[in-house]
Structure formats: C-alpha cells, structure tokens
Amino acid sequence: MKKTVAIIQARMGSSRLAGKVLQPVAGRPVLWHVVHRLKKCRELDEVRIATTTHSQDDPIIAFAKQEGVPVTRGSEDNVLQRYQLAVDESQADIIIRVTGDAPLIDTTIIDVMLAKMRETGADICGGGGLDADVIHEGFSVVSRRLFDELVRNGGHDPSVREHVIYKFDEYVPDLVPSVITFDPRHFFKGARISVDGFPSIPLPTSRSSTPSTINWRPSPARLTWAMSSTCSSVSQNLCASIPTCAKNWAPNDLTNC
C-alpha cells in the first residue's frame, strides 16, 4: 500500500501578515484547523509540518509538539528543498502539499483525490467538469515520481523553489494526470477562502485563545477572511451553511466545521 502524507508548509515570516498561521480563528490557531481537518482524512497516513530552521519559527515547533505532529525543518527561502526533506523523512509515496493558511480545507475532496490516485496510478489529480473557479484551495495531490522529477528537472527554477507543485507540465512532460468531477455547488467566483493580508473582518486576537505553551503574542492586526457572499453550501466537511459564514461571520462558525 502506498503511503500518503500531507505536508503543511508553515512559517511565521509571511510578508503580508506575519505570524498568520498561529493567529487565532474561532479560539484556535489557523494551523490547528488545518491539522485537525487533515486528521479526518480516511485515505491519509500521516500529517507533517514543514517549517524553517529560523528561530522565529520555534512557536510552530511548540505547536506541533503539543498536537503530536511530526515536523521537518529546512530552508526558509527554498520551499522545494524543505518539502524534499519532509518527503524523504516521511517516506511518502503520494504527497499532499498543503498551505498553512487554509483553515477550511476540505478533507472529503482530498480523500476522493487520494482514492483516485491509488486507483489509477496517476501522478497528479485535479478537478474538472465546469469552466469556473472552485471553492477548494490550499492543497495539491501528486505522486512521489512527479515530485522527484520536479526536484531533478526544475530545482533550479526560482518559481518552483517557491511554489513547489508548479510548472509540472514543463518539467515532467510524461506525467499521468487524473481528474475528478466536482459537484456544481463547489464552483463559484469572487473570493478566496484562505487567511491572507490585512483586515476586512475582525477576528479574535487575544493571547488567551492561543495555546499557553506557545510563547507567541498575536499582533493586533486583524485578518482578511476572504469568502464569497454568493457561495453555496458545498460539503459536509465545510461549514454547515457557507452563506452564513460568508455574510455574517462569527467566531464560533468554525468550531463545528
């Protein structure tokens, strides 16, 4: 059986909003929501965090230890190299690249993609069906072969070093793709569902909502919670009512997601 590993890239030094992965949302750090959603995946064997060797990322190590999540530390500037270390340490056969700023990551879709990858032996899985934007973001599902070829053939490319699963059609021309069809309700336009940048909606930022073992004080800056006001309910692993979350966001809306 091929081993599937979700590797979450996370660091405190975000250029647009420093420390965003540990900013509190609904009383928990953003990274907590990402980790606990991934732990619900039935097709996933391991969840791992990939952060940097910089001392400013020590709070992420404290968080990971508290949550029982293994950590790999690597280059701050070369994210691809950081992932390579994590892939080697975890001995992953199928890799889910996850960004640490997507607290509404959909575990149902990840399970469907992983099952499709195992069934077909494909190198990458994506969604198709309608020519529109899809609500799902924050993750990519690829084979170990595709990843190794990206490292070998594209490791010199600054854009690949930064974005990891990038230009794969250029650097892995013989890749085998697979496609799942999204439910039409998963398609929408007009917003992202990741935490990024400065505020449009206030979120709780009290120190008391951050685990006490983490020696880090959130900045007073609020987060941008970018969700579409036209988005419909999409799956059992997203909020029970996405329109409610989008139009009338309240701190408790994520607790049952």
HEC sequence for 25-92:
ECCEEHHHHHHHHHCCCCCCCEEEEEEECCHHHHHHHHHHHHHCCCEEEECCCCHHHHHHHHHHHHCC
pLDDT band at 202 (very low <50, low <70, confident <90, very high): very low
Q: Which secondary structure element, helix H or strand E, spans residue 125, and what is its range?
A: strand 124-128
- pLDDT at residue 251 above 80? no
Range in 133-137, 141-145, 239-243 with the lowest mean pLDDT: 239-243
Q: In the predicted model, what is the mean pLDDT of the chain?
A: 76
Cα–Cα distance measured from residue 121 to residue 128, given in angstroms and rounded to the nearest whole number: 18
The model carries a pTM of 0.76
pLDDT band at 229 (very low <50, low <70, confident <90, very high): very low
- Fold that domain 4-186 belongs to in CATH: Spore Coat Polysaccharide Biosynthesis Protein SpsA; Chain A (3.90.550)
Contacts of residue 220, Cβ cutoff 8 Å, sequence gap at least 6:
205
Domain ranges of the chain: 4-186
- pLDDT at residue 213 above 80? no
pLDDT band at 134 (very low <50, low <70, confident <90, very high): low
pLDDT band at 56 (very low <50, low <70, confident <90, very high): very high
Cα–Cα distance measured from residue 245 to residue 226, given in angstroms and rounded to the nearest whole number: 11
Percentage of the chain beyond pLDDT 90 is 53
Compute the half-sphere exposure of residue 118: CA atoms within 13 Å on the CB side of its CA: 12
Q: What is the pLDDT of residue 246?
A: 30
Among 102-116, 132-146, 191-205, 216-230, name the most confident range. 102-116
pLDDT band at 193 (very low <50, low <70, confident <90, very high): low
Q: What is the pLDDT of residue 88?
A: 97
Give the Cβ contact number of residue 158 at 10 Å.
10
Contacts of residue 3, Cβ cutoff 8 Å, sequence gap at least 6:
45, 46, 90, 91, 92, 93, 94
Compute the half-sphere exposure of residue 251: CA atoms within 13 Å on the CB side of its CA: 14
For residues 227 and 106, the model is more confident at 106
pLDDT band at 196 (very low <50, low <70, confident <90, very high): low
Please report where in the chains the tokens 């709780």 appear, as a residue: 204
Q: What is the pLDDT of residue 249?
A: 29
